[in-house]
Amino acid sequence: MFLDWASDGPTNFHSLTELERQTGIRDPRLDRVQLNTYEDWIYRVFGRIRAQINNSYMALGFISWTELEAFCRLTQVKLCPREVDLIMKMDQVYVNEINLRLHKD
């Protein structure tokens, strides 16, 4: 079994990478994720921004324009408008999925 980016999406991938970061145990599915180089790069940028926000706040919130701008300025990552839009959409999916899971009960 492997994680397919198109069907499993960023939420499973992020959950498994976060679990690995916290426990040191790597899920074997992470070794078989199907991403191309660009998808991998944009997801890593999203993950770096999201990790900083998750570490900074008690509540889960969306990435703000100010946080995205500060990340780009401090890391010297240059994003085109399409990439900014993609990161913001990925964040909406991520936050909405987490909120659904938290309020499932």
Residue 69 pLDDT:
94
CA angle at 15 for the pair 14 and 19, rounded to the nearest 5°: 115
Whether 2 shows a pLDDT value over 60: the answer reads no
- Which residues are CB-neighbours of 83 under 8 A, at least 6 positions away? 42, 45
Catalogue the long-range contacts made by 7-10 (C-beta closer than 8 Å, 24 or more residues apart).
9/93, 10/43, 10/46, 10/90, 10/93, 10/94
The per-residue pLDDT for range 11-65, each reduced to its tens digit, is 676 777 778 878 888 888 777 656 567 777 888 899 888 888 776 665 678 899 9
Total count of domains within the chain: 1
User: Which tokens hold the place of 64?
Assistant: 């703000």
- Note down the domain range covering 13: 5-102
The per-residue pLDDT for range 64-82, each reduced to its tens digit, is 999 999 999 999 988 888 8
